[in-house]
Structure 1
Amino acid sequence: MTIFDQIFGNSKPATPAPKIRFGRFSDSYHLAAQDAAFDEAVQAFSRGDFVDSYKAFFDYLHNAGEENVRVWREKEDIGFELFQGSKKVTGFANGRKFYAVAIVARANSLQSSFMRRLLDENFELKYSRFALTPANEIAIVFDSYPVDSSPYKLYAALKELATHADKHDDLLIDEFDALEPTDINIRRHLPQAEKETKYRYIKREIETDFGILDNGKLHPGQYATGFTYLLLYLCYKLDYLTKPEGYMMETLERIHRLAFAKDGKNVAQKNLTIRKEFQKLLDRPQEKFFKEMYEVRSTFGITTPIDHEKLALIIGQELPNMKWYLEQGHEQIALAVPGYIVSFSLFYYALPAPDKEFFHLLLQIIEHTYFDELGFRSFVRNGRLEKKAICHEISGITERHCKACPHMQPDVKMLVWNSLPQFAESYLHMVRTLDLSGCA
């Protein structure tokens, strides 16, 4: 029995959680075997054993449970395929050459508009390049001689190729009518009930925040910063909780870029621009949302690693901004501040594993209605926080990471249970004070 159970009592065994994925894929959580494989690849490359280096390198890329990499032998060649989102990268490697390609889209007719766009894109790429196949397919290609194909370079090059292929298929097809999708690789279509729940949540949350903007007591121009927290929390939580693909994913990423762009606009003007992007999602037909609700496999993460100390600094810098709104009774905007901290961190960073679990738990508590609709365990009943269930979950996170992080002991006495905003504020203070030093 843990100290949490001694204090708060044992909770009843929870029903199994639905198998629903949240958030962006990260390749930061490597197993020891993967790190050993990369070291082996580096050593083999140093010896000039290029084929052995390639084999070990692909072992490193294989993520447990993802089924994201497949490798086979073809006489002197190594054939391979790896998945990044809805795109598949294929290629071969031998003692003479390393070659990789991903098909992005098919052109019904060759037009100068998209070909000029691809030419411009090539100037931005460091390792790979866009090309046109004899079948009028837009491809992105990387090749290299073995002596110049160290594991470090291969990782950077394949990541560039794969992530650009996955991103540009949606962007190019949406922008140019002459292009059509091809070679779409979907791991699993979501169940209809899950699609409907996610769609209702997307619509409901956007409409709710629009209602606060239009009918709230605060003027959007005078208190623009508070509404920025509200809109950005909306953006990042939709990304994490609904895990969109295609058009919606790009819209949310565009909102992120607009918010932080140095374009001379003030905060209120940016809020209006961001609102227009959300309006596009509201106007989008349900069937188009459903077409983009599927699971994919990934090899490369696009989030930036961050350690706990820097995360604690972010919490310390942002959290005080909720104080005035909380004191004045504007609870929805006050709650958006810790919501923003958590959801932005999950959107932009590859968090330490314990921090990621603690942040997910807070989102599950704040967005309890949505999680209830998905069939997850409830941490809020009749508007009241379930103290025992929450502390039991904190205990579970602590136990899962006790070997890797022996000094991590969350102080649940710091938690304030009076209201959801106060709880969220105290919860982030608790996370901020965690000791993750010595984590393996």
Structure 2
Amino acid sequence: LTTLWAIQLTSQVCNSVTNISMNDGNNDFTPQILDSIIVWHGLIGSDREVFMYNINIGGAPVNISNNPSNQDFLPQISNGKIAWFSRGNNQTDIWLYDYLLNTGPTIISTHPTESNSFIDMNSQYISWAADNGFGYEIFLYDINSAAPPVNISNNSYDDFFPRISGSNLTYFGNDGNDNEIFLYNISLGLPPVNISNNDGNDDFRPVISNDYITWYGSNGIDDEIFLYSISSGLPPINISNNPGNDDRLPSISSSKIVWSGYDGSDDEIYYYDIIDPGAAIKLTNNFGIDDVNPLIKGQSVLWASDYDDIMFYDFNVCSNSINISNTPNFIDSTPNIQNGTIIWSGDDGNDREIFLANCENLFSLSIGINWCDGLDLPATLSINGTLHIEETARLKPLNTAPSCASTEEGLMYFDAGTKKLRVCNGTNWVDLH
């Protein structure tokens, strides 16, 4: 990569890690976060319940399911509401709780077998997979209308892992031959469409953001990452293109996709930009260390490194990833993030708890062209106030002096010929040393 000139200044601080579940002797899993609210499911003895924690209030988490006769799992949160599923007494129930109005929890659907329900929700809809007695189907519930849920897959095969964005819903299911990726438009209400069309090969775990759906599936040789545009309707493209090595578990946010892929020695985290396409870029390069289960939200990427540390990378900060949990030999997993607040489920040496760390960019500046391993960054930068640099700043040498006029007074550059730092006094260039 060629950078004509660049100065890079970064600083990032993550505050101390806090155990917010405080559930000694019991395991806690799958935290989710929205604004100041965190939810997860955890054990009380042999009973699983759903807990809610308000960052602004602090204190002990609240048991919002309070359902000792059933096991409660996998809460999701959106727009002031929390949904989860419970199983017990030979049935599966889907629950909804409104924490803004403090109403519920209420059962919105019941299914006649105990099953894992792979639940997801957005501001208007809740979707889940559940066994209706004849196989797993995908169900959809409209929060606004509160009408009975609709079976949208409605076939004789198993369907799993629904994911919603706007009025589009995607999932994977068997078509009688293999597992394919399906798309359902909630507004149109037409039968789901097979968008993977990957006959003879299995496709799994789609995720969706606005116009794009991505998943991993076999090309007959290995697992690759595929991308589909809803608006174009064109066949999906292979964006990992990593022959002979498996790529799995993509995560998407707007136009950015990350996933875990094998590079011949271990699993690394890869990145692909839909708006500025090209070859996938490695975000990690840790020989002998597996980097797995990435999540991207906005400009932030989280993953588990060797299954025992939570790593954080920010596209706004052109620097190395940061170890947030820093707990070697203890398992950390399922990280999530909202506005610089990072949460995860981790082992404290006794059991699994939910941890919280606040990470904020105190200073993050990058100027240049195609800097930071191919990631495009701003070409100009203005600062009002004082710039403090604790470590180093680097100016790449210029062979030709830039313009020096009254409007450039104070401009600096490093001269490649004289090896001197020069400053513009408004008329001429002056050597500083």
Question: Same-fold call, TM > 0.5?
Answer: no
TM-score, length basis structure 1: 0.28
TM-score, length basis structure 2: 0.28
**Relative contact order, CA 8 A, sep 6+: which one is greater?**
1
Bigger radius of gyration: 2
As a proportion of its length, which structure holds more helix?
1
As a proportion of its length, which structure holds more strand?
2
